[in-house]
A and B are shown apart, each in its own frame.
Chain A
Amino acid sequence: DIVMTQTPLSLSVTPGQPASISCKSSQSLLHSNGKTYLYWYLQKPGQSPQLLIYEVSNRFSGVPDRFSGSGSGTDFTLKISRVEAEDVGVYYCMQTIQPPLFTFGPGTKVDIK
């Protein structure tokens, strides 16, 4: 089974400053079709999760361009170029290369200083 880890597990950021979250998988998420099945989600307080990034680096519709994803193989990063107050919540990475067991990372809680 693929295990997803995230660091840090919590992050306090000053508005306007950058933030970065690392996600590592225990196996490569590169599929034979050339795609890498790594996703990022944000769960704002009291809300359902929402998709931010799909297949490592593609921003989902409506996601601000201050969010970016990068990485390959087993190491991935979500970056927020300038954190805003509305970005607080828990960020999860998730892999879907290995059905029937999709797995989420433990989550990284981001709050504002």
Chain B
Amino acid sequence: ELQLVESGGGLVQPGRSLRLSCTASGFTLGAYATGWVRQAPGKGLEWVGFIRSKPSGGTTDYAASVKGRFTISRDEAKSIAYLQMNSLKTEDTALYYCTKGYGMDVWGQGTTVTVSS
């Protein structure tokens, strides 16, 4: 079974950092793009960014709202993708999902990030 499991969410103060993890099973993580999508409480879906597959160079792209603050990386040996979030703002409060592939055909269950003083 193809599965993604996010972890690492929590309560953090504005300006601080947090790193989310996304553990993949049932497929080779590096063979596909891995994306992050977030959903603020009661709101719709917002694409955060992705890391391309290894064959496509493993480069990253980000939404304007997080560019320069968030970094996506991947440890293929561990089958884990990461979302490093720095300089967090209250508006980053959301449920964060990781996804498989550009078409997002597999989603994790999400991990909640709350940015508040």
Contacts and interface: CB of A to CB of B under 8 A. Distances in A.
Whether both chains belong to one complex is answered with yes
A102 B101 CA distance: 13
Contact of B107 (A48, A55, A90, A106): A48
B44 interface: yes
A42 to B, nearest CB: 11
Contacts of A106: 44
Interface stretch (B14-22, B23-31, B61-69, B86-94): B61-69
Contacts of B50: 99, 102
B46 interface: yes
Contacts, number: 53
Contact of B110 (A48, A54, A99): A48
A107 B49 contact: no
| A interface majority secondary structure | loop
B11 interface: no
Interface residues of B, number: 21
Contact of B49 (A92, A94, A100, A104): A100
B103 A104 contact: no
A104 B47 contact: yes
Given A101-B47, A104-B46, A48 B104 contact: no
A39 interface: yes
B97 interface: yes
Contact of B63 (A41, A60, A100, A107): A100
Interface of A: 37, 39, 41, 43, 48-51, 54-55, 60, 90, 92, 94, 96, 99-107
A-B pairs, top 3 by smallest CB distance, nearest first, are: A100-B61, A48-B107, A102-B47
13 contacts: A37-B102, A41-B104, A48-B108, A51-B104, A54-B103, A99-B61, A100-B49, A100-B62, A101-B47, A101-B63, A102-B50, A103-B47, A104-B46
